[in-house]
Amino acid sequence: MKTEVILTHNIVGLGAESDQVKVAAGYARNYLFPQRLAIPLTHANKRRIEALKQRRAEREAHEFNTMTELAKGVAKLICVVKIKTGEDGKMFGSVTTGMIADELKHQFDISLDKRKIHFEHPIKTLGDHEVELRLHQEVNATLKLRVESANPLPAPAEAPAGEGRKEERHERRGRRSEAAAETEKAPVESAETAVEKKPRAARAERAPKAEKSGKGEKAGKGAKAAKGDDAE
């Protein structure tokens, strides 16, 4: 059985202040009336419709201004959502609107109904994404979302490390070869200098021998002369 009521507050999915709607009699009796969210549709209550319309206009104007400011602020944020992944980095499940709403509250103290968060395709990959926020009938915003793994991923650093070690080995071998080349050059240069020095030393050594031989010749000539004198 349906009954007609006048809403005194905005109810998502049902209506706003001053709207006349039909609802189940039990829903109106057990929930709407006790919570003062609606009043029965009577001639006396119809007089309150104008006041409710005024309240509605003020509320919508306030929401519009608030959501406009929120849209400007959200555009500068990056909301981080962490989700469990496997060893291969694949996510278990996907990111939900409830997760995003919780993180907005936790990270930035922004209370936002998850029904205002929309994305075209399920978010099932790590990385950066963009999410649409339908904050108001006339206000939309784009939220930057970063999905990270809640558990540490295996670091793919083995291959680069091996390459780095190989490069270090090549550098060490190059240094050793350069050092060996320098050591090989050193004896050659010393040998050349030794060869250059040997003739000079030999000349120095031969000079005295020549003098000795000269003295010997003089002595021999003197001896021969003496013998000649004796013979005469």
Q: What is the pLDDT of residues 58-91, one digit of tens each?
A: 999 999 999 999 999 999 999 999 999 988 888 8
Query: What pLDDT, on the 0 to 100 scale, is given for residue 217?
Result: 47
The residues with which 2 forms a beta bridge, in sequence order, are: 24
pTM for the model = 0.55
Query: What pLDDT, on the 0 to 100 scale, is given for residue 86?
Result: 87
Query: What pLDDT, on the 0 to 100 scale, is given for residue 218?
Result: 46
Query: What pLDDT, on the 0 to 100 scale, is given for residue 12?
Result: 84
Phi, psi of 216 (to 5 degrees): -65, -40
Q: What is the DSSP string of the chain?
A: -EEEEEESS-BTTTB-TT-EEEEEHHHIIIIITTTTSEEE--HHHHTTHHHHHHHHHHHHHHHHHHHHHHHHHHTT-EEEEEE-B-TTS-BSS-B-HHHHHHHHHHHH-----GGGEE-SS-B-SSEEEEEEEEEETTEEEEEEEEEEESSPPPP--HHHHHHHHHHHHHHHHHHHHHHHHHHHHHHHHHHHHHHHHHHHHHHHHHHHHHHHHHHHHHHHHHHHHHHHHHH-
Q: Which domains does the chain have, with CATH numbers?
A: 2-47 (3.40.5.10), 68-180 (3.10.430.100)
pLDDT along the chain (232 residues), means of 10: 93 92 94 94 90 93 94 94 88 92 95 92 93 93 94 62 57 62 52 47 46 46 45 41
Query: What pLDDT, on the 0 to 100 scale, is given for residue 99?
Result: 95
